[in-house]
Amino acid sequence: RIAYVNGRYVRHADAGVHIDDRGYQFADGVYEVCGIRGGKLMDEELHLARLQRSLAELRIASPMPLSALRQVLREVVRRNRVENGLVYFQVTRGVAPRDHPFPAGPVKPSLVITAKRLNMARIQQSAEKGVAVVTMPDLRWARRDIKSIALLPNILAKQAAREAGAYEAWLVDAEGYVTEGSSTNAWIVDKFGRLVTRSTGPEILSGITRTVLLETAKREGIEIVERPFTPDEAKSAREAFISASSAVIIPVVRIDDTAIGNGAPGSITLRLREAYAKVGVLS
């Protein structure tokens, strides 16, 4: 495997950053994960736009012009011969002696890019069977709209889910509403057959898959409501699912100890999963 690190393509096993990188010291950075299908990046422009926004919110400079970044992303995918998988790209504020304020002088942001293959058969299996989620308190900071590399609460939630035999954790805010999954957006189909997902804002990450799915649902004539829902409402919903760039849509068939619907992936969920493939933009 080959990684891109600050201007160089290096063997993945030898790739590293300086110990004074602010990403390493402070998690002072942002990232993106973009799906690859048939060797092409999925919804690339939406991912690049979100990266630019995350960087601007944290006042981290762009590591390179967008046109160059597009080329390097392609090159990393090509050199790793990824047909179906993911490309990960991360930008940190750069290397400077450890001190909390932004470095005084100009510092070059660090850019790291990796790509990996995904086991599509395994994803397909999860999509056909559905997965379990468990609910737990959302312990994250108040700017979840920024795709920050500081993921400790997400990691703890995912680990707790795995230890409970579940695939994902659905995080619940102080008011008792589901925000999103630890690395996915959360959706239900309510008792009226409407697609429900929380509206964007500082409380959740504005998922690229979420954005494209909303467009997909509109085209399919499925009614959409963007509003918060509680774990109780989700447990009595007709259908539930999660969305993310990695696997697009995975049906949820159990929340805590409650089976959803008849305990099998829902029909609207599966319809959206199929329709997404035609709407997701490959470039």
Please give the residue ranges that form the binding site for ligand PLP (CB under 6 A): 33, 180, 183-185, 205, 207-210, 243-245
Q: Which is nearer to ligand PLP, 25 or 209 (CB)?
A: 209
Closest CA relative to residue 179, chosen from 221, 219, 141: 141
Least distance (Å) between residue 48 CB and ligand PLP: 12
Distance CA 188, CA 253 (A): 11
| Three-class DSSP category at 87 | strand
CB of 250: closest distance to ligand PLP in angstroms? 12
Burial class (CB in 10 A: 0-12, 13-18, 19+), 152: exposed
Residue 96 CB, nearest distance to ligand PLP (Å)?
A: 27
Residue (94 or 179) nearer to ligand PLP, CB: 179
CA-CA distances (angstroms) from residue 72 to 35, 51, 69, 170, 215?
15, 15, 5, 34, 29
Least separation in angstroms between CB 46 and ligand PLP: 8
DSSP per-residue string spanning 264-279? S--HHHHHHHHHHHHH
Considering beta carbons, is residue 92 or 183 the nearer one to ligand PLP? 183
**HSE (CB half, 13 Å, CA atoms) of 46?**
18
Distance of CA 64 to the CA centre of its chain: 23
Which of 135, 243 has the CB closer to ligand PLP? 243
**In the complex, what is the shortest distance from the CB of residue 132 to ligand PLP, in angstroms, rounded to a whole number?**
18
Beta-ladder partners of 29: 92
Helical (H) or strand (E) element with 76: helix 66-79
| Residues assigned a catalytic role | 147
Shorter beta-carbon distance to ligand PLP: residue 17 or 33:
33
